[in-house]
Amino acid sequence: MNRKPASLIWAGSASLLVLASMAAPAQADNLRDALAAAYTTNPTLESARATQRAIDEGVPINRAQGLPSVAVTATHIEFIQQSANSFTAPERNLGVNAQLLVPVYSGGAVRNGIAAAKERVEAGQADLRNTESTIFSQVVASYMDVLRTEALVALARNNVAVLRTNLEATSDRFQIGDLTITDVAQSRSRLAVAEGDLQGAEANLIAARETYIRLVGNEPGELEAPPPLPGLPDTVGDAIVAALENNPNLDAAKQRAQAAGFDTKAAGSGRLPSVNVFVNGDYSDFFGTLGGPVSANFAQSEKTANAGVRVTIPLFQGGLPAAQKRQAGARESAALEDVIAAERQIIAETRATYSNWLAAGAIIKSAQSAVEAAELSLEGVRAENSIGNRQILDVLNAEQELVNARAQLVTARRNAYVAGFNLLALMGRAEARDLNLDAGVLYDPQINADRVSSKMWDWDRDPKAEPKSTRTVDIPPANATIGPQLLPGE
C-alpha cells in the first residue's frame, strides 16, 4: 500500500488556516513551539520525571544492604537507687560502643535486589517515554481542536450572516407579494437555528482554547498550519512491526517482567545461610564512682574490642520463605501475562488507529468533492430561485448542505492529523527525540540514574523540592474572538 492518504491529509492545510485564523495576537504560534512549551512547562510531565528520579533511588537502596555499616552508640547511666548490699556499685557510667558490620553473603538477596531495581529503572524510563508521547498527543489534538473550532465558528458566523441577508431579502419580497409568509417563517426559523449553532460553536472554541492553555501553559496565538508528520508507515504491517519494537508501554511491561524474575530469585534467599563479618569496640567510664570507698582499687575506665564472623543458618521459619517465594513467583507470572496483554492492546490500537488515519484521508477527499458540489449546487439553486423555479426552502437547504460539507472537511483534516500523530506515538516515534523540538537540552533520565546509582554518603542530598512547571492562573480566560474570515471559494 502506498502513502497517498498522507498527502490527502496535508492537501488544503492552507485553506484550513485561512478558514480559522485569530486576529490580534502579537505573533503566530506553530505546533513545534506548542510541543516545546509543553515539554518544558507541563506539570504532568514534570511530575513523571520526578517520579522516575524516585524510582532511580531503588538501586542505591538495594545496594546499601550489601555494603558495610558503621554505628556508634553512646549511653550515659545514673544509678539513682542502689542495693543496700552493694558497696562497690558505681554512681554513674558512660558506655560507648562502635560496631562495623560487613555483609559477606546473603543468599543472593542483595545481588538480585539490585538487578530488579535496575530493571524497574528501565521500566520507569519507558513509562516516562509513554507519558511524554501521551502529553504530545494531547497537545497535538488540542492544537488541531483550536484550529478546527475556529474554523467552525467562522463557518457558523458566515452562515448566520448569509441567513440574515436571506431573511431580509425574503421579507422584502414578501412585502411586494412575491413570496408568502411561509417563506419568511422558514427563513426566520433557519436563522434562529444557525444562531444557536453559533453559540455552541463559540462555547466549543472557548473550551478548546482552555484545554490548550492547560496543556501548553500559554494561550494560543494565531496558530499556523501544522507541518507534515514524518515517518508514517506504508502499511499496517509496518506500523505493527515498529510498535512491537518501540512502543514504550510494551517495553515497560517487559522490563517489569524481568524485574519480577529477579524478585523471585531474591525471595528464595530467605532459605539460605547468611555470613557477616563484624568488629566491635567498647569504652566504659565510671567517672571515679566504681568501688565506692575503695574506688582507688578499681580501674575507672576500660576499653575492649572483638571481631568475628557470624554465620546464620535458618532451619525453620514457619514456612515464611516458602510463602515469599511462591508469592514472588505468582507476581512474576502476572507480570509475564501483562506483557502479552500489553502486546495485544498495542496491536489492536495500532490497527484501529491506522484504519482511522486511512479513513480520515478518504473522508478528506470525499468532503472536498462534497464542498465543490455543494458550492455549485447553491449557485444553481439561487439562480433558479431568482426566476421562480425554486422555493426559498430549496435555497436554505442548499446553503445548509454547503455548511455541513465544509464542517465535515475541517473535521476530517483535524481527525487525520491527530490519528497520524497517535499512530506515530504507538510506534514509539512521537517523543521529543523524534520531533526535533527547539526546547534546549532534552531531558535524559539516564543522567540521574547514573548519578545516584553509586552514591553511598548518608548526607548526600538534593536541593529542596520546588515546582518547575508554570501556572496558568494569570492567563486571562479564553474567549471566542476570531479575526476576519475568508471562506474557500470567496
For the stretch 300-309, pLDDT in tens is 899 999 999 9
pLDDT at 484: 58
Q: To 5 degrees, how large is the angle CA 339–CA 340–CA 346? A: 90
Residue bearing the bigger pLDDT, 165 or 8: 165
What pLDDT, on the 0 to 100 scale, is given for residue 393? Answer: 84
Which amino acid makes up residue 89? A
pLDDT for 327 equals: 96
Question: What's residue 490's pLDDT?
Answer: 41
Segment among 14-18, 410-414, 439-443 with least mean pLDDT: 14-18
**Residue 88 DSSP label:** S
Q: How many CA atoms within 13 Å lie on the side-chain side of 66?
A: 17
CATH number where 221 lies: 1.20.1600.10
How much of the chain, in percent, has pLDDT values that exceed 90? 68
Q: What is the pLDDT of residue 397?
A: 86
Using one digit for the tens of pLDDT, what is the confidence trace for 332-385?
Answer: 999 999 999 999 999 999 999 999 999 999 999 999 999 999 999 988 988 888
The vertex-332 CA angle with 244 and 330, nearest 5°, equals 140
Calculate mean pLDDT across residues 100-115.
94
Under DSSP, is residue 20 helix (H, G, I), strand (E, B) or coil?
Answer: coil
- Beta-carbon count within 10 A of 146 CB: 23
- Strand partners for 77: 93
Give residue 228's domain range: 4-66+121-265+340-453
Q: What's the confidence (pLDDT) of residue 29? A: 84
Cell 545516584 sits on residue: 452
Question: Is the pLDDT score of 488 beyond 60?
Answer: no
**φ, ψ dihedrals at 457, nearest 5°:** -80, 125
**Is 480 inside any structural domain?**
no
Q: Grid cell 548490699 — which residue?
A: 85
Q: How far is residue 116 from each of residues 9, 51, 256, 264, measured CA to CA in Å?
A: 45, 17, 8, 10
pLDDT digits (tens, 9 = 90+) for 31-68: 999 999 999 999 999 999 999 999 999 999 999 999 99
Q: Is 304 part of any domain? A: no
- Across residues 8-33, what is the average pLDDT? 49
pTM listed for this prediction: 0.86
Residue 25 lies in a domain: yes
Mean pLDDT of 196-225: 94
Residue 276 domain-assigned (yes or no):
no
| 224 vs 219: CA distance, rounded Å | 14
Q: What percent of the chain has pLDDT over 70?
A: 93
CA–CA separation, 213 vs 205, rounded Å?
Answer: 12
What does the block give as the cell for 356?
482511522
| 475 located within any domain | no
Q: What is the pLDDT of residues 310-342, one digit of tens each?
A: 999 999 999 999 999 999 999 999 999 999 999
Element housing 223 (H / E): strand 222-223
Compute CA 125 distance to the chain's CA centroid, rounded to the nearest angstrom: 12
Q: Which amino acid is at 213?
A: I
**Residue 472 — pLDDT band, cuts 50, 70, 90?**
very high
**Does residue 15 register a pLDDT over 70?**
no
Q: How many domains does the chain have?
A: 1
Residue 254: how many other CB atoms lie within 10 Å? 20
Task: Kindly report, residue by residue over 384-400, the tens digit of the pLDDT.
Answer: 888 878 888 888 888 88
Please give the angle made by the CA atoms of 140, 431 and 466, to the nearest 5 degrees.
90
Residue 24, pLDDT above cutoff 50: no
Which residues pair with residue 421 across a beta bridge?
Answer: none
300-314 in b/e form (b: 16+ CB < 10 A) is beeeeeeeeeeeeee
**Ramachandran area for residue 312 (φ above 0: left; ψ -120 to 50: alpha; else beta):** beta
pLDDT in tens, 68-101: 999 999 999 998 888 877 778 888 999 999 999 9
155-164 confidence digits (pLDDT tens): 999 889 888 8
Give the pLDDT band (50/70/90) at residue 483.
low
Of 7-16, 21-30, 146-155, 403-412, the range with the lowest mean pLDDT is 7-16
Name every residue whose Cβ is closer than 8 Å to that of residue 216 and which is 6 or more positions away in sequence.
Answer: 34, 37, 38, 41, 42, 139, 142
**Would you say residue 384 lies in a domain?**
yes
Q: Report the alpha-carbon distance of residue 231 to residue 183 in Å, rounded.
A: 54
Question: Residue 379: how many CB atoms within 10 A of its CB?
Answer: 13
| Whether residue 174 has pLDDT greater than 50 | yes
Distance of CA 482 to the CA centre of its chain: 31
pLDDT at residue 13 greater than cutoff 80: no
**Residue whose entry in the numeric block shows the C-alpha cell 436554505:** 396
Please name the helix (run of DSSP H) or strand (run of DSSP E) that holds residue 309, with its range, or none: strand 301-312
Residue 381 lies inside a defined structural domain of this protein = yes
Mean pLDDT of 469-479: 92
Q: Would 181 be classed as within a structural domain?
A: yes
Residue 257 near residue 338 (C-beta atoms within 8 A):
yes
